[in-house]
Structure 1
Amino acid sequence: MPTDPPASPWKRSPQRPDAKPRAQRRTRGEEVVETSGSGAPAPHVARNEELRLYGFNAVQAVFARRPDAIRKLYLAEDRIPRLQPLLKWCVANRVGYRVVDEADLRKLAASAHHEGVVADVLREAPQSLTAWLETLPPEPCCALWLDGVGNPHNLGAILRSAAHFGVSAIFLPKHSPLALSGAAARVAEGGAEAVPFVRLGRDDNAIAQLRGAGFQLAATVVRGGEDVFAADLPQRLVYVLGAEGEGMDAALAGACDLRLSIPGSGVVESLNVAAATAVLLAQWARA
């Protein structure tokens, strides 16, 4: 039998998992105000500033790196032993958690792949390129520029490979809607906490800044590029990756210093963007 965790700030009850105990809520008209144990209103957090994560490694990675970002926790009873350090931290810091059943976890995660734990956490805002460059150490460095990539499972797989190979950042174009989601974080298996997002300004300004910091940009293309396995890759490199199907913006590809392709048998047209990223990063790491 699993050992019960310390007393939870939330009571176990058959009510729906997104409801809050009466002792922890006050109502002003239709507005629900969360309170701390002292009854003082908790700081308001806008809905778009929070992210619902699920998956054991995704939640554990947030706990290891920025535990103060955790706002609520839901877990299956059989996860209590493995999550004891997190549960004790929740009690010590008055963060609510609740043991819920499988059906509730599926509803909370909107997925069957919750792995027994769901958490609401504060979303980490992307850095600016200027801020990122200011803290970059003077050593070999690889970053990824994602132009049009939107599938959350591809993003998650890219983040996992990026974390594995020590990528320094994921660059997001100025108007890209791409953002970390629960699905992407689960597929990343903790990698989402290891690789920062950097929001770019205008493409031409970003390229100038990166070149000024010693980077070369490589457009990754299905055909017509230099064989990545034979190319002399620079120590400071930005791989520019386009969406499957339409690829990257032609003007952006034309502004890059290199054009690289991954040779194959020709039986299929190409690798998908996540698989291609892993190959490209492995080649940079061994160069």
Structure 2
Amino acid sequence: MKSTHSSDDAPPSRRGRPQSRGGGHRDGGDRGGGASVWLYGTHAVTAALINPERRVRRLVATAEVARALPPSRIAPDLLARPEIDRLLPAGAVHQGVAVLVEPLPAWGIEDVVRAGALTERAIVVVLDQVTDPHNVGAILRSAAAFGALAVVVPDRHAPEETGALAKSASGALERMPLVRVTNLARALEMLKDGGFWIAGLAADAPKTLAKAGLSGRMAMVLGAEGDGLRRLTREHCDHLVRLPMTGEMESLNVSNAAAVALYELARDQ
């Protein structure tokens, strides 16, 4: 498989092509606009404040928390915790701080291919209809920890970039591109054309991930809990692999499985 881009191309930025997307808990007044979203929790807010690609509309914090925040382009509005509660979804664990932001510029699958063309070894995580924002957030965190290029999800069957997802990602949303694609099968073919091998994680696979001996540019595909990979997605995989399980448990949570798979791929990189 050959790359569709020259290695002389400059690498794309954190999210290469500006492309606004809605999502999340939107502010109802003129502070938020149509696409603004509240992020909350110390890690998610701190990461957003230090990310030069984030456009910050409003920052709110308790007086105590505000003193510990990094220098910001915008001064915080000092509010009591109940006042912050009213700005956010019910039950949001905000830790006394929240920030209203614009969506980050978005990567497309071609940006992932282009970034992969600049290195002989790369890892991309592809999620096949994983819809829980906490799982996707945790996977973003693991992907950032193990040096993945991006996390790819189908546009219609994946959570929006909400405060809950950002808090679960613990700051990784600001560093790890979350790439939305209209057609997952087509995106897998584009990755193949760009020099990536596609490995699907499946409990019935003949080989474990470790014994498959995979290297180079890899896209690891994980399916939804319970249903696993869809038939069409499996058909677009070059390899089906599994994690070694003792049989005491039928499966792992998808975010835990992603972390184990990423470790296995990354340790030989």
TM-score normalised to structure 1 length = 0.77
Deviation string, structure 1 residues 186-206 (Cα, Å, up to 9, x no partner): 111111111102233434432
* Inter-partner Cα distance in structure 2 for 1:122 and 1:206: 26
Structure 2 residue matching 1:171: 3-state secondary structure: strand
* Inter-partner Cα distance in structure 1 for 2:181 and 2:92: 35
* Inter-partner Cα distance in structure 2 for 1:116 and 1:160: 22
Please tell me whether residue 106 in structure 1 is matched to residue 106 in structure 2. no
Structure 2 residue matching 1:246: 3-state secondary structure: coil
The residue that corresponds to 1:58 in the other structure is: 44
Q: Pairwise mapping of residues 35-184 of structure 1 onto structure 2 (< 5 A)?
A: 46-47=33-34, 49-66=35-52, 68-83=54-69, 85-86=71-72, 89-91=73-75, 97-110=76-89, 111-136=91-116, 137-184=118-165
Q: Give the gaps of 5 or more residues in structure 1.
A: 1-17, 20-31, 35-44, 92-96
The residue that corresponds to 1:270 in the other structure is: 251
How far 1:121 sits from its partner (Å)? 0.4
How far 1:226 sits from its partner (Å)? 1.3
* Inter-partner Cα distance in structure 1 for 2:237 and 2:221: 8
Deviation string, structure 1 residues 58-91 (Cα, Å, up to 9, x no partner): 11111111265110111011112212512xx314
1:213 is matched with which residue: 173, 185, 194? Answer: 194
Cα distance, 1:68–1:237 mapped onto 2, change above 3 Å: closer
Cα distance, 1:84–1:160 mapped onto 2, change above 3 Å: closer
The residue that corresponds to 2:17 in the other structure is: none
* Inter-partner Cα distance in structure 2 for 1:129 and 1:67: 19
Q: Which entry has the higher C-alpha Rg, 1 or 2?
A: 1
Cα distance, 1:60–1:280 mapped onto 2, change above 3 Å: same
How far 1:114 sits from its partner (Å)? 0.8
Q: Give the gaps of 5 or more residues in structure 2.
A: 1-26
Cα distance, 1:257–1:55 mapped onto 2, change above 3 Å: same
How far 1:220 sits from its partner (Å)? 0.6
The residue that corresponds to 1:286 in the other structure is: 267
Q: CA RMSD in A?
A: 2.1
Whether the 8 Å contact between 1:52 and 1:119 is mirrored in structure 2 is yes
Whether the 8 Å contact between 1:172 and 1:178 is mirrored in structure 2 is no
Cα distance, 1:135–1:223 mapped onto 2, change above 3 Å: closer
* Inter-partner Cα distance in structure 2 for 1:107 and 1:204: 41
How far 1:125 sits from its partner (Å)? 4.3
* Inter-partner Cα distance in structure 2 for 1:267 and 1:286: 26
The residue type equivalent to 1:195 in the other structure is M
Q: Which has the higher contact order (CA 8 A, sep 6+)?
A: 2
Whether the 8 Å contact between 1:72 and 1:121 is mirrored in structure 2 is yes
Cα distance, 1:190–1:225 mapped onto 2, change above 3 Å: farther
How far 1:145 sits from its partner (Å)? 0.9
The residue that corresponds to 2:18 in the other structure is: none
* Inter-partner Cα distance in structure 2 for 1:249 and 1:46: 37
Greater helix fraction, Structure 1 or Structure 2: 1
How far 1:174 sits from its partner (Å)? 4.7
How far 1:178 sits from its partner (Å)? 2.8
How far 1:138 sits from its partner (Å)? 2.4
Whether the 8 Å contact between 2:189 and 2:236 is mirrored in structure 1 is no
